[in-house]
Copies of this chain bind each other. A is one copy, B any other.
Amino acid sequence: MNKRPLILITNDDGITARGIHCLAEAVRDLGDIIVVAPDGPRSGQSSAITVDSLLRLTPREFGEGIEAYSVNGTPADCVKLAMHALMRERRPDIILAGINHGSNSGNSVNYSGTMGAVIEGCFAGVPSVGYSLLDHSHNADFSFILPMVTEITRKVLSTGLPKDICLNINFPKGIVPKGLKMAAGARGRWTEEYEGYVSPHGKPFYLLTGKYIEENPDDDTTDNYWLSRGWATIVPVRPDQTAFDQIKPLEYLTL
């Protein structure tokens, strides 16, 4: 029987993105790898799932000794489908998503397809980690951070994670991080979220843009505080959003 850990890897930038190849390289020595990733970009897909159209698993070339498939769906679909169709006999020991081209710090965790996959893994009871680099570019340089990715993955494989907790890990751009900090997701809001245009036929349309305004830029407990100072950050994420402390105070709504 095979005792090497089984590592399921996905992302939201699509199976051809540089980040997912770098992630696979970084953890190649830690176990057997299966890649199941979207067939193209799925940024901003959150925990979206495909409810009423057909999903396909297509075998793909990825790298020597790595079994890989693309899916015509979302990152959460990839995790669900991998667990259902590919891993019925042998569950993954860890699920990794990324390395995302661009930040998933602050409240981006809510919109991130990368973190949608991680949360899906967490719901399935598998230790799950999302990795993101604060560099959107297609040719982002992941080399500075790969030793840290290897080391964190090794630790999580060895110790597991608390029940119902997954990790959102972000790395600063273009440097070897000064170190790793545990942090809370920074709070902020977007303004001027769309650019308005007019089509050749005179109809208005909109494209997403916007500026992120940090709520408390000097709060040294947040991921954005440390990322902007050259550190990598780990935010522990609990997918269950029930506000248990508000059940009693809001009881007046039921009367």
| Interface of A toward B, CB cutoff 8 Å | 41, 43-52, 54-57, 74, 76, 80-81, 83-85, 107, 109-111, 116, 119, 123-125, 152, 155-156, 159, 161-162, 165, 167, 179-185, 187, 189, 192-194, 196-197, 203-208, 221, 234-244, 246-254
Bound-state Cα–Cα, A233 to B25, Å? 48
CB-nearest residue of chain B relative to A207? B54
Given A123-B189, A180-B253, A249-B162, A81 and B206 touching (CB < 8 A)? Answer: yes
Bound-state Cα–Cα, A81 to B250, Å? 30
B81:A194 contact, CB within 8 angstroms: yes
Return the contact of A194 from the options B76, B85, B185 (Cβ within 8 A): B85
Q: How far is the CB of A74 from chain B (nearest CB, A)?
A: 8
Per assembly, the copies of the chain total 2
Contacts of A159 in B (CB 8 A): 252
Return the contact of A56 from the options B76, B111, B152, B205 (Cβ within 8 A): B205
CB-nearest residue of chain B relative to A80? B193
Given A50-B44, A253-B156, A107 and B80 touching (CB < 8 A)? Answer: no
